[in-house]
Amino acid sequence: MATPAKKPGIIQGTLDLLILRTLVFGPLHGHGIVKHIKSVTDEVLTVEHGSLYPALQRLEKVGCITSGWEATDSGREMKLYRMTTKGRAQLRAEESKWAQLTEAMTRLLRPGQARS
Amino acid sequence: MATRGFKGDDDLQREIRQHLELDAEERRSEGLSPDEARRAAAMAFGNVAAVREDARTVWFPLWLQQAGQDLRYAFRVARRTPAFTLGAILIFAIGISASTTIFGALNAVVLAPMPFAESDRLVRLAQSNQERGVDAFSVSLPLYRDWQVRSQSFASMAAERTGAVTVLGLGEPRHIDATWLTHDMYPLLGLSPALGRAFQKTDDEKGGGQVVMLSHGLWRSAFGADPQVLDRVLTIDGRAHTIIGVAPPDRLNTTDHVLLPAVPFTEDRRGYADLNVYARLKPGVSIAQASSEMAAIAQQLGRDYPDHHRGWGVTVTPLAESVVGPGAPRMLYLLLTAVGVLLLVACANLSSLLLVRASARTREIAVRAAVGGGRGRILRQLLTESLLLAGVGGALGVALSFSGMRLWRTTLATDLPRAGEIGVDLWALTFAFLVSAVTGVLAGIAPARQMARLDVTRGLRDGGRSVAAGSHWSRNALVVGQLALSVVLLSAAGLTMRTLSHLQSVDLGFTSTRIVTAHIAPRERPEAFFIDLLQRVRALPDVAMAGATSHAPMTRGNLSLHVFPVGAARLAPTESVQADWRIVTDGYFGAMETPVLAGRDFSVRDDEDAPKVIIVNQTLARMVWGDRDPVGRQLDLGGGGGDPATVVGLVRDTRHHDPAVGPSPTYYVPAAGGVWGSMTLVIRTGADAATLVPRLRTVVAELDPTLPVYDVNSMDALVLRRLAPQRLIAGVLTGFGAIALVLAVLGIYGVMAFSTRQRARETAIRLALGATRWDVIRPLVREGGALVVAGAALGLGAAVPLTHLMRSLLVDVSPGDPLTMGAAVAVLSAAAMLACYLPARRASRTNPLRALRGD
């Protein structure tokens, strides 16, 4: 069952890409993922918690990430998400798809520039 | 540890909690107060419950989650009322185990294909004679050969017969069952030996036959499954036989036995029919086609050999049918029908109890409906509750049916062919599962629909005291249904009990008590042997009288022949009677207490050199000579104009085969004139078998130390064994009837008790206003009485036609017998009325003040 997108802003399917991209830098918990996306994009992109957790479950179910409880630097036990090999492959595929999409969008919006 | 898969709701909850705490901590470090930080974090996160639900839905579809919720809730409900839950589970378990056990037997004995390759093409061929009422007569060796040569319908044909032999070389001399079969039997059935070889053509020729095969069971029990058994020599009936092979594991319910080639041991005479013939239809040939071909062949043979075959046809029966016979399927289908009725009673019972309970839960259900539980959801929830009970009951039922199936194999159905195959298999499990599901839904559907239709506002307002509209009606209908079905079961039980008691007291023509029987098969000069033996046996202490016969009453096997009158008779000289015959010694009738009505008993002087004499029973005498005294008259035995036999005595009719089968025309020939094979000693004694048999063995050993004494029985036990099917049916149906009665009475009690409670207030007011106790009891009992009358009437209406279906199983009592039906109704009504009276009486004794204050 699809998770209802609570707020337009992140195109459906892009959330997976954002999560995977964030996990490239190492294992992270849910709150960390939200914060990372927010700060890297200068708060342009905000992730709804209502979408984040189901998305994490979905990615774990298809095997792109794994999860486990680990002690963080602050000493707090947090559930950390880790990218798998399959996740890396998925990320590459998503990235190239995204590149194609943006290129196509750019071409459509600024035909002149895209040609150069 | 990183693991795959959903880690559970608790894990997710903990994760979210940690998330919120971390967020709040960070906000505190930004300067917010702890409370503000917590609120801000919670706000940022949003609806936790929705997130959890969405996350779970990634792994489990919604319906599955809901089913899980329903199940958990059902468990909680079940735990809240343990007595009700246990009772319901027990009722389900009894119904499901009973039906699974009966289905298991039906499946193994009747429905499962015979355990042979392409068994649907296997048939049995037998002689039949409509005029004489014979439908499966055995076949002589020459006739078997004629059928083989003249028929085209069959791919192959083989013959066998069964009997017993004395085997030396296994320690004690042993009497062992034997099957003589032609060499084509193994290819016909698609069998191959477990060890060594099967018979081949050369074994099956005159002068062959010095070989033997062991059944798999005998190989294991007597030789410990020794693979070196081949080429060992056994002495069988005084002749050396080399073991050439071991049969594959037994597929039908047979005892340990030896297998011998048939042809060298079978008389090659047309008048000597003792083979059972089996054949495999050619592919594409139907039984009807084979039958019509065999009918034509029988006609030719009737012309070619009029003395032997005129008037005789051939029946072609599917193998399964001929092995199992008509009795077992009839019995098993009857029992399955009965258990189906019992299941319906159980469902109606549980349904009415669930309805009562559901009414008590009106407020709870109304709350669920009020907070948005849809009708479908409530329906599903309540069905889950009954399915849970049925499921647990079903699991328990399957566990119980293991014992049930063992009971079939070891006790109930030892005489039933294929009983060894009865067991809990995939079919039985599937059946149990289906029955659980269907009964679960049947029991739960009425209460569930009732509650799903509930009027929410009324349910909430009346505080659970009011009942959903229409539930009164369905409860009453369910009670009437239980009562009616119980009448049906009780009537069926009553009819079979009356049949059994009739058969147990039927005049057998002999006195079965205090008779011990034992088989002996002397090898040499058997006539003299038995004369000698009987003299010694009669001299034993506690022996009143003794004789011997070729076929003891109530045992299997039969001899029959057509007999023609000689001289003046009621019957024309060309007409004949198909008469059973037995070889008996002098003293046999005395020992059996079968009176000789006219003429004399045999004596040791009626030997080979004396004139041929017979004794006839009343039925044969009446058929041949009417009311005239048969003594001194003559019969031609078997036709063909040999020396006629002179009747020297007339004995009372006896029931030979079965207490349920009336006397057949029978004549007896003297043992002094010729004995073949084994005879059964019949000893009337004050001692029991355990005391008598050692003495008997001593006496036999004095004459021949190598002779086994076997198959020791009491005549009572033989009669009882013959009545096993009737006892089984009567016992099981009575058990079912009793269970149904208890359930129906509990059902009406539950409903009446509920109805009485519902009216406690009204009753209290009336008592307070001066009504007598009887004034209070009367309307309640009247209400219950109406249900009982309706149930009894409906039950009678159903029982009369339904018991007609069991007509073939009844003896001396007709279906719809008024006495039996009346008794069934009386028993049920008395118990049910008591169940109505008790709650009413309790209500009449309540303290009005307390009842009124209670609200």
pLDDT of residue A116: 42
B43: Cα separation from own chain's centroid: 71
Domain residues for A42? 14-115
Report whether B637 contacts B563 (CB < 8 A). yes
Band of residue B522 on the pLDDT scale cut at 50, 70, 90: confident
Contact B57 A1 (CB under 8 A): yes
Q: Which residues of B touch A48 (CB under 8 A)?
A: 46
Q: Between chains, do B11 and A78 touch, taking CB under 8 Å as contact?
A: no
Put simply, whether B18 touches A (Cβ < 8 Å) is yes
Would the pLDDT of B238 be above 50?
Answer: yes
Gap between the Cα atoms of B478 and B484, Å rounded: 10
Angstroms from B49 CA to nearest CA on chain A: 10
Q: What are phi and psi of A93, to 5 degrees?
A: -65, -45
- Structure token digits, residue B304: 């070619």
CATH code of A26's domain: 1.10.10.10
Q: What token pair was written down for B662? A: 């009336």
Length in residues, chain A: 116
Q: What is the DSSP track for B551-596?
A: S-TTSS---EEEEEEESS-SS-TT--EEEEEEEE-TTHHHHHT--E
Element (H, E) at B546: strand B543-549
Same domain, B794 and B669: no
Contact B433, B394 (CB under 8 A): yes
- In this structure, the answer to whether residues B809 and B700 fall within a common structural domain is no
Chain A residues closer than 8 Å to B6 by CB: 57, 61
* Neighbour-count burial for B164-202, b at 16+ CB within 10 Å, e otherwise: bbbbbeeeebbbbebbbbbbbbbebbebebbbbebbeee
pLDDT level of residue B188 (50, 70, 90 thresholds): very high
Task: Inform me whether the C-beta atom of residue B53 falls under 8 Å from chain A C-beta atoms.
Answer: no
- Kindly state whether residue A51 falls inside one of the protein's structural domains: yes
pLDDT at A8: 43
User: What is the DSSP secondary-structure string of B318-379?
Assistant: EHHHHHHTTHHHHHHHHHHHHHHHHHHHHHHHHHHHHHHHHHHTHHHHHHHHHTT--HHHHH
Interchain proximity A50–B46, CB inside 8 Å: yes
Tokens of B196: 């060594």
Residues B345 and B440 in one domain: yes
Q: How far is A56 from chain B (nearest CA, A)?
A: 8
- Determine the distance in angstroms separating the CA of B17 from the nearest CA of chain A, rounded to an integer: 10
The answer on pLDDT for B264 being more than 70 is yes
Task: Give domain status of residue A76, yes or no.
Answer: yes
Closest Cβ–Cβ partner in B22, B50, B55 for A31: B22
Q: Which of B607, B582, B577 is nearest to B592 (CA)?
A: B582
pLDDT of A5 higher than 70: no
Residues of B in Cβ contact (< 8 Å) with A66? 2-4
Tell me what the pLDDT averaged over chain A comes to: 79
- For all residues of chain B together, what is the average pLDDT? 87
Cβ of A31 and B19 within 8 Å? Answer: yes
User: For chain B, what percent of residues have pLDDT higher than 70?
Assistant: 95
Dist CA B577 CA B563 (whole Å): 5
The pLDDT score that the predictor gives to residue B803 is: 87
Give the residue on B whose Cα is nearest the Cα of A27: B2
Task: Read off the pLDDT band of B469 (50, 70, 90).
Answer: very low
B126 in a structural domain: no
The helix/strand/coil state of B470 is: coil
| pLDDT for residue A10 is more than 80 | no
| pLDDT, greater one: B124 or B8 | B124
State residue B470's pLDDT score: 54
Residues 61-80 on A with a CB inside 8 Å of B are 61, 63, 66-68, 76-79
pLDDT at B122 over 50: yes
Residue B378, pLDDT > 50, answer yes
Which residues on chain A are in Cβ contact (under 8 Å) with B61? 1
Contacts of B16 in chain A (CB under 8 A): 53
Which of A54, A56, A66 is opposite residue B2, by nearest beta carbon? A66
The pLDDT value recorded for residue B596 is 95
pLDDT greater than 50 at residue B2: no
Q: Is the pLDDT of residue B345 over 90?
A: yes
**CB spacing of A66 vs B7 below 8 angstroms:** no
CA-CA-CA-CA torsion sign (B236, B238, B241, B243) = positive
A60 contacts in chain B (CB < 8 Å): 4
Distances (CA, A) of A113 to A95, A107, B125, B766: 22, 7, 97, 98
In the structure encoding, which two tokens stand for residue B603, read together? 């004596």
Does B57 contact A67 at a Cβ distance shorter than 8 Å?
A: no
pLDDT category of residue B147 using cuts at 50, 70 and 90: very high
Reduce the DSSP state of residue B447 to 3 states and report it: helix
Q: What is the pLDDT of residue B471?
A: 65
Q: Please indicate whether, in this complex, the C-beta atoms of B3 and A66 are within 8 angstroms of each other.
A: yes
The answer to whether B16 faces chain A, any CB pair under 8 Å, is yes
For the record, the structure tokens of B296 come out as 């034509």
Query: Which residues of A fall within a CB distance of 8 Å from B17?
Result: none
Does residue B318 fall inside a structural domain? Answer: no
Q: Does the structure show a pLDDT above 60 at B464? A: no
Q: B398 and B450 share a domain?
A: yes
Residue B12 — pLDDT band, cuts 50, 70, 90?
confident
User: For residue B639, is pLDDT > 90?
Assistant: no
Residue to test with chain B: of A33, A43, A49, most B Cβ within 10 A: A49
Residue A67 CA to residue A78 CA, distance in Å, equals 10
Q: Report if residue A29 sits inside a domain.
A: yes
Q: Is the Cβ pair A76, B19 closer than 8 Å?
A: no
Helix (H) or strand (E) holding B276: strand B276-281
Residue B79 sits in the same domain as residue B204: no
Are B59 and A50 a contacting pair at CB < 8 A? no
Calpha distance B379→B318 (Å, rounded):
50
Q: Which of B255, B282, B310 is the last residue of a domain?
A: B310
Q: Report the number of distinct structural domains present in chain A.
A: 1
Rounded to an integer, what distance in angstroms lies between the CA atom of residue B334 and that of residue B704?
A: 50
In a domain, B455, yes or no: yes
Residue B34 has what pLDDT?
Answer: 87
**Identity at A21, one-letter amino acid code:** R
Which chain A residue's Cα is nearest to B9?
A: A57
Domain membership flag for residue A92: yes
Percent of chain B at pLDDT > 90 equals: 43
Q: Which of A15, A57, A64, A73 to mutate against chain B (most B CBs within 10 Å)?
A: A57
Rounded to whole angstroms, the Cα distance separating B274 from B559 reads 10
What's the pLDDT band for B78 if we cut at 50, 70, 90? confident
Quote ipTM for the complex. Answer: 0.78
Q: Print burial letters for B519-541: b (CB count within 10 Å at least 16), e (below 16).
A: bbbbeeebbebbbebbebbeebe
Same domain, B552 and B658: yes
B634-637/B645-651 β-pairing: antiparallel
- Contacts B54 to A, Cβ<8 Å: 3, 50, 53-54
Give how far Cα B59 sits from Cα of A81, B1, B54, B55, B253, Å: 17, 20, 9, 7, 52
Mean pLDDT score, B65-94 = 87
Domain carrying residue B632? 522-707
**Greater model confidence, B750 or A13:** B750
Report, as an integer, the average pLDDT of B551-564. 84
Q: Please name the member of B11, B23, B47 whose beta carbon is closest to the beta carbon of A31.
A: B23
Chain A residues lying within 8 Å of B22, measured CB to CB: 29, 31, 76, 78
B551 and B692 fall within a common domain: yes
Cite the DSSP H helix spans in B107-215: 141-150, 185-189
B289/B340 same-domain check? no
Which residues 58-117 on chain B approach chain A with CB closer than 8 angstroms?
Answer: 58-59, 61-62
What is the arithmetic mean of pLDDT over A57-76? 84
Choose the closest CB to B58 out of A50, A61, A82: A61
Phi, psi angles (nearest 5°) of residue B241 = -130, 135
CA distance linking residue B218 with residue B224, whole number of Å: 9
pLDDT above 90 (res B93): yes
Residue B517 bridge partners (DSSP):
B682, B713
Q: Residue A48: inside a domain, yes or no?
A: yes
Instruction: Give the length of chain B.
Output: 855
What sign results for the dihedral spanned by CA atoms A105, A106, A112, A114? negative
Q: Is residue B316 part of a domain?
A: no
Q: A1 vs chain B: nearest CA distance in angstroms?
A: 7
Confidence check: pLDDT of B756 > 70: yes
Residue B553 has pLDDT above 60, yes or no: yes
Which residues on adjacent β-strands are paired with residue B313?
B128
Q: Is residue A6 part of a domain?
A: no
Residue after which a domain boundary falls, among B260, B286, B310: B310
Query: Could you tell me the pTM of the whole model?
Result: 0.75
Cα–Cα distance measured from residue B682 to residue B704, given in angstroms and rounded to the nearest whole number: 19
Q: Is residue A9 part of a domain?
A: no
Q: Is residue A5 part of a domain?
A: no
pLDDT value for B346? 92
Question: Can you give the pLDDT at residue B232?
Answer: 92
Minimum-distance CB partner of B19 among A30, A58, A60? A30
Considering the domain architecture, whether residues B171 and B103 belong to the same structural domain is answered as no
Q: Report the range of poorest mean pLDDT among B55-69, B495-509, B598-612.
A: B55-69
Least CB–CB distance from A53: residue in B18, B22, B55: B55
Alpha carbons B737 and B742: distance in angstroms, whole number: 9
A31 CB neighbours in chain B (<8 A) are 19, 22-23
Task: Report yes or no: A36 at the B interface, CB cutoff 8 Å.
Answer: no
DSSP string, B640-691: SS-PPEEEEEEE-----S-TTS----EEEEEGGG---S-EEEEEEESS-HHH
The sign of the CA dihedral B181, B184, B189, B192 is: positive
- Mean local confidence (pLDDT), B737-753: 91
Radius of gyration in angstroms for the set of CA atoms belonging to chain A, rounded to a whole number: 16
Domain assignment present for B1: no
Crossing angle for the helix pair B724-758 and B327-360, to the nearest 10 degrees: 10
Determine which of A76-80, B108-112, B250-254, B364-368 has the lowest per-residue pLDDT on average. Answer: B250-254
Question: Is the Cβ–Cβ distance between A83 and A21 less than 8 Å?
Answer: no
pLDDT at residue B94 greater than cutoff 50: yes
3-state helix, strand, coil in chain B (%, to 5): 55, 15, 30
Residue B255, pLDDT > 60, answer: yes
Q: Is B565 exposed, middle or buried (0-12, 13-18, 19+ CB in 10 A)?
A: buried
pLDDT at site A7 = 42
Q: Report d(CA B600, CA A83) in Å as an integer.
A: 107
Whether the pLDDT of residue A80 is over 50: the answer is yes
Range B19-47 average pLDDT: 86
Is the pLDDT at A1 greater than 60? The verdict is no
Q: B615-642: string of b/e by CB count within 10 Å (b at 16+)?
A: bbbbbbbbbbbeeeebbebbbbbbeeee
Q: Mark whether B775 and B827 lie in a shared domain.
A: yes
**C-alpha span between B514 and B493 (Å, rounded):** 31
Cα dihedral sign, B682-B687-B691-B697 = negative
Phi, psi of B316 (to 5 degrees): -115, 115
pLDDT at B340: 93
Split at pLDDT 50, 70, 90, the class of B344 is very high
Alpha-carbon distances, residue B839 vs B81, B285, B766 (angstroms): 21, 69, 17
Q: What is the DSSP code (8-state) at residue A3?
A: P
Inter-chain touch A57–B15, beta carbons under 8 Å: no
- Which pLDDT band holds residue B461 (cuts at 50, 70, 90)? low
> Do B630 and B540 fall into the same domain?
yes
B54 to chain A, closest Cα gap in Å: 6
Write the pLDDT tens digit of every residue in B587-596: 999 999 999 9
pLDDT for B810 beyond 60? yes
Q: Do B59 and A57 touch (CB under 8 A)?
A: yes
Highest averaged pLDDT of the listed ranges B231-245, B443-457, B555-569 = B231-245
CA distance A112 to B12: 50
Please tell me the distance from the alpha carbon of residue B660 to that of residue B503, in angstroms, as a whole number. 6
| Domain count across chain B | 5
Q: Chain B residue closest to A30 (CA)?
A: B19
Chain A residues within an 8 Å CB radius of B41: none
Instruction: Locate the chain A residue with the closest alpha carbon to B50.
Output: A50
Looking at B241, B275, B310, which one is the last position of a domain? B310
Are B148 and B45 within one domain?
no
Residue B769, chain A, CB below 8 Å: the answer is: no
Interface contact A77-B18, CB threshold 8 A: yes
Please determine, for residue B22, whether its predicted confidence score (pLDDT) is greater than 80: yes
- Work out the average pLDDT over B413-420: 72
